[in-house]
Structure 1
Amino acid sequence: MEESGFGAVMPTGNRSVSRALDILELLAGSERPLGLAEVAKRLDLPKTSALSLLRALLSRSFAALDEEGRYTLGLRSFEVGSVYLQRMTPVRAVETELRVLTVELLVTSHFAILQGNDVVYLAKHDPPQGVVRLASSLGARLPAISTAVGLAQLAHTGLPPEARTARLLEQVEQVRLTGYATDDGGTVHGIQCVAAPVFDAGGCCGAIGISHLQGGQETAVVASAVCNAAQRASAVLGGARVLPDTAT
């Protein structure tokens, strides 16, 4: 028996499971197949132990051998990952992040998707005694170009032709530069909204946003928290992490 990092006692046999997962993560992070010696060296394992674990992974198709006898991820790893992505919807992926934002910032947090030229709010989380609850009622539909969650998405999906004014083109360009959008009282007077896009494997699939009183909190602090939440949700959904484009 041995102690885990949380002080609990776990069976020694779990070490083999942990090491097998280490191997899968190593293979997943490598751009090329790896030989037995390299796997053992990178994970600081005896070759005999690494070989035993790799054979177990091969037998269940979680690992595969190439023509040169090197190891890579197997078909079963892809199948398990695909099932996960199929079952993980954007709303499920953002639920935890919304709760975290609300607890950390004491604000209303929400998630919305584009539908035509509007955004529809599909999830929200309110603070216990929050007062900012107007802009993100579940099921509410608002013009995308007038909301932070709308602009955060339009920056990556494109403005509709009729909305390509100089002002809006400048706004979405700013979103691409900073990674987030703001709505300073445009939806509800006295309320600022800050939002960042969420991505799945197919591209932008929504936006996480928060609503707070104007002047109540520094925009940079709020934006950092919102962007981090959106990036974590994107990672769960298998989307690429999109960083601000500081080169343009």
Structure 2
Amino acid sequence: MARRAPTGPVLGRALLILEAFGPRHTSLTLTELARRAGLPLSTVHRLAGELVTWGALERDAGGRYSVGLRLWEVGSLAPRGLGLRERALPYLEDLSRVTHENVQLAVREGAEVVFVERIAGSRAVPVHTRVGGRFALSATGVGLVLLAHAPHDVQEQVIGGPIERFTARTVTDPKALRRMLADVRTNGFSVSDRQVTDDALSVGAPIRDPAGAVVAAVSLVVRYGTVSAHALSPLLLSSARAISRALESR
């Protein structure tokens, strides 16, 4: 649920209304919107009307609200996601065609992963991620790469927990997680072995900017038991290097 700030400035209250939406709450009544935003119904009614007029929200015939296409259009212009996605997409598509598996591209935002692109392969195992969605840094293939190369304070924030558990194999022990991050830096790729779902293995690799800093990560997510992480890693690392070289042309 969105943070409660009923007396904040107009922009802050409008943002609380937008924050009320989520993967499981894509369509809300005015009452639900007010409750999830923690704002008075009259305030939400007024602001929601202005957001509909601008296009940030849409209202259907039944009176339910959803995120508007105009907001998506503006959000898609975010330079960190847009430029990266444009340059990476040909290589992501090649990787998908060769493997027929899930291919994901992500960046770090604070202590979370934000997925910039995802291509579902023809025989891909179902995943919980979506484009524009956020996830814990500590569990996914892309997240482990980004966490391993994150600033020290971000690593300590995540390792200091609490670390969310998704399956019985999710690594929540701080010492074990530190060892995993050290292995990522040593090996050049990450392995998330059934940490998010019981049937998926994810391998991630870093994407670097021209200065050598890790700015994103790419991963393959496959059904556990069909192929080993070490068999996937050379192809994934090659794709990550190609995307990194493509960023040099910016």
Q: Would you call these one fold, judging by a TM-score over 0.5?
A: yes
- Secondary structure of 1:157's partner? coil
Contact conserved, 1:117 with 1:160, CA < 8 A, in 2? no
Q: Is the 8 A contact 1:148 1:194 kept in 2?
A: yes
1:132 to 105, 125, 130: 125
Q: How does 1:69-80 map to 2 (within 5 A)?
A: none
Give the CA deviation at 1:200. Answer: 1.1
CA contact (8 A) 1:180 1:194 kept: yes
- The Cα shift of 1:135 comes to 3.2
Moved over 6 A (4+): none
Percent of matched pairs sharing the same residue: 20
Task: Tell me which amino acid in the other structure corresponds to 2:116.
Answer: L
- Work out the CA distance in 1 between the residues paired with 2:246 and 2:127: 29
Alignment partners' CA distance in 2, 1:205 and 1:162 = 18
SS of residue matched to 1:110: strand
- Cα distance in 2 for partners of 1:219, 1:199 equals 21
The structural deviation recorded for 1:215 is 1.1
In the alignment, the residues of structure 2 paired with residue 135 and residue 124 of structure 1 have an alpha-carbon distance, to the nearest angstrom, of 11
2:230 alignment partner in structure 1: 220
Please point out which of 116, 122, 147 is paired with 1:122. Answer: 116
Aligned-CA RMSD value: 2.3
SS of equivalent to 1:197:
strand
User: 1:228 deviation in Å?
Assistant: 0.8
Q: Counterpart of 1:197? A: 206
Q: 2:119 is aligned with what amino acid?
A: H
1:232 to 238, 242, 248: 242
CA shift, 1:162, in A, is 4.7
1:98 has 2:103 as partner = no
For 2:220, which of 204, 210, 216 is the aligned residue? 210
Aligned-pair distance for 1:108?
0.8
**SS of corresponding position for 1:176:** helix
Letter in 2 for 1:91: R
Q: Distance in 1 between matches of 2:133 and 2:197?
A: 14
Amino acid at match of 1:173: A
Extract unaligned runs of 5+ from structure 1.
Answer: 1-84, 240-248
How far apart are the structure 2 equivalents of 1:223 and 1:162? 25
Which position in structure 1 is the counterpart of 2:188?
Answer: 179
What are the Cα deviations for residues 175-225 of structure 1, in whole angstroms up to 9, with x where unaligned? 011110011111111100110011113521110001101110122121111
Kept in 1: contact 2:105–2:218 (CA 8 A): yes
Deviation sequence 1:79-106 (CA, Å, 0-9, x none): xxxxxx99x8211121111111111111
Q: Does 1:161 align with 2:157?
A: yes
Provide the C-alpha distance between the structure 2 equivalents of 1:233 and 1:198, rounded to a whole number of angstroms: 7
Contact 2:100 2:124 in 1 (8 A): no
- Structure with larger Rg: 1
Distance, in Å, in 2 between the alignment partners of 1:89 and 1:237 is 8
CA pair 92-175 structure 1, distance change in 2 beyond 3 A? same
Alpha carbons 2:111, 2:158 under 8 Å: kept? no
Structure 1 contact 111–209 (Cα < 8 Å) conserved: yes
Q: 1:10-44 deviations in whole A, cap 9, x for unaligned?
A: xxxxxxxxxxxxxxxxxxxxxxxxxxxxxxxxxxx
